[in-house]
């Protein structure tokens, strides 16, 4: 059965990767970008993966509730309803100590990641309750379990907030027609990862790359798995779809330090 999917921030990175995998499997997809130019570019890059289904896009600043409502309306009109809404739109703060982060930087990150997720949940909940079904997924990441790390103050706080709202929505919607779930892709090398290199000392970036080479994966590795599990999970409530589990992390450190197996996640990238 073809599903109707909305992915906020689906023009590149993990969002585009998921859009591509849904399209390949015969599902209708709506992506959003922050500008019409980025949205059009994302649509163009996905055209080859359209498999007898519909692909649409909408420029949307997810921190603006009215713009998010407009995305719902456009997708619902094009597809006849929305089955899965993925709050993927997000930006990462550069890895820096908190006192070095510019206020404009964290205002932008908080507006996109927290307010954007809240807006997506509000709009999708309302629309899905009205249509009588639907699934919403929010992203988790480092900090969702309470851990902290130097240089990740803003990211950690944001992820913890998103986990908290998602856990609350799970409780509030146990008897509603809307199912809520968590997506945890682990560490994925995207354009945002490469952005970090421009704001770090050479020594700090080298240390960061060592960890990424142990734990990280590429978009094309993770997104097919995420999509297959979301499709299989449809109709289930409170699910946590996690790629980089604790046992997998331990196994990778074992391979890196005991078996001396090397991975180079940055081969061919300009870093």
pLDDT tens across 228-243, in order? Answer: 999 999 999 999 999 9
pLDDT band at 15 (very low <50, low <70, confident <90, very high): very high
Nearest to 208 by CA among 236, 189, 234, 232: 189
Q: What is the pLDDT of residue 271?
A: 47
> Would you say 252 and 214 are in contact if contact means Cβ atoms under 8 Å apart?
yes
Judged against a pLDDT cut of 70, whether residue 226 lies above it is answered with yes
Calpha distance 259→257 (Å, rounded): 6
Stretch among 87-96, 189-198, 229-238, 243-252 having the lowest mean pLDDT: 189-198
Which tens digit of pLDDT belongs to each residue from 121-151? Answer: 999 999 999 999 999 999 987 667 777 777 7
Q: What is the pLDDT of residue 3?
A: 97
Calpha distance 183→139 (Å, rounded): 5
Strand pairing report for 84-87 and 55-59: unpaired
> Would you say 244 and 135 are in contact if contact means Cβ atoms under 8 Å apart?
no
**Residue labelled with tokens 């993925």:** 86
| Phi/psi at 266 (5° precision) | -110, 10
Mean pLDDT on 66-92: 96
Q: What is the pLDDT of residue 207?
A: 84
Judged against a pLDDT cut of 70, whether residue 181 lies above it is answered with yes
pLDDT band at 266 (very low <50, low <70, confident <90, very high): confident
Model's pTM, two decimal places? 0.94
- State whether CATH 2.170.190.11 applies to domain 4-190+218-245: no
């Amino acid at each position: 059965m073809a599903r109707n999917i909305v992915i906020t921030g689906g023009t590149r990175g993990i969002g585009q990767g998921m859009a591509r995998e849904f399209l390949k499997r015969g599902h209708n997809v709506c992506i959003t970008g922050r500008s019409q130019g980025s949205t059009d570019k994302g649509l163009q890059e996905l055209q080859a993966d359209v498999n007898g289904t519909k692909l649409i896009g909408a420029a949307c600043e997810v921190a603006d509730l009215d713009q998010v409502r407009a995305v719902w309306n456009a997708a619902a009109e094009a597809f006849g309803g929305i089955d899965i809404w993925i709050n993927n739109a997000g930006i990462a703060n550069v890895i820096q100590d908190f006192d070095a982060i510019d206020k404009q930087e964290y205002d932008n990150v908080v507006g996109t990641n927290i307010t954007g997720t809240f807006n997506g949940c509000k709009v999708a909940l309302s629309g899905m309750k009205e249509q009588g079904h639907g699934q919403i997924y929010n992203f988790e990441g480092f900090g969702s379990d309470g851990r902290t790390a130097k240089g990740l103050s803003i990211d950690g706080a944001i992820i913890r907030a998103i986990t908290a709202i998602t856990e609350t929505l799970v409780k509030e919607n146990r008897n509603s027609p809307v199912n809520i779930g968590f997506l945890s892709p682990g560490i994925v090398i995207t354009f945002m990862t490469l952005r970090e290199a421009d704001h770090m000392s050479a020594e700090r970036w080298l240390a960061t790359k060592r960890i990424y080479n142990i734990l990280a994966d590429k978009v094309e590795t993770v997104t097919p798995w995420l999509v297959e599990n979301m499709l299989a999970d449809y109709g289930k409530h409170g699910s946590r779809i996690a790629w980089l589990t604790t046992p997998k992390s331990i196994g990778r450190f074992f391979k890196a330090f005991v078996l001396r197996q090397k991975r180079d996640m940055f081969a061919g990238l300009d870093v």
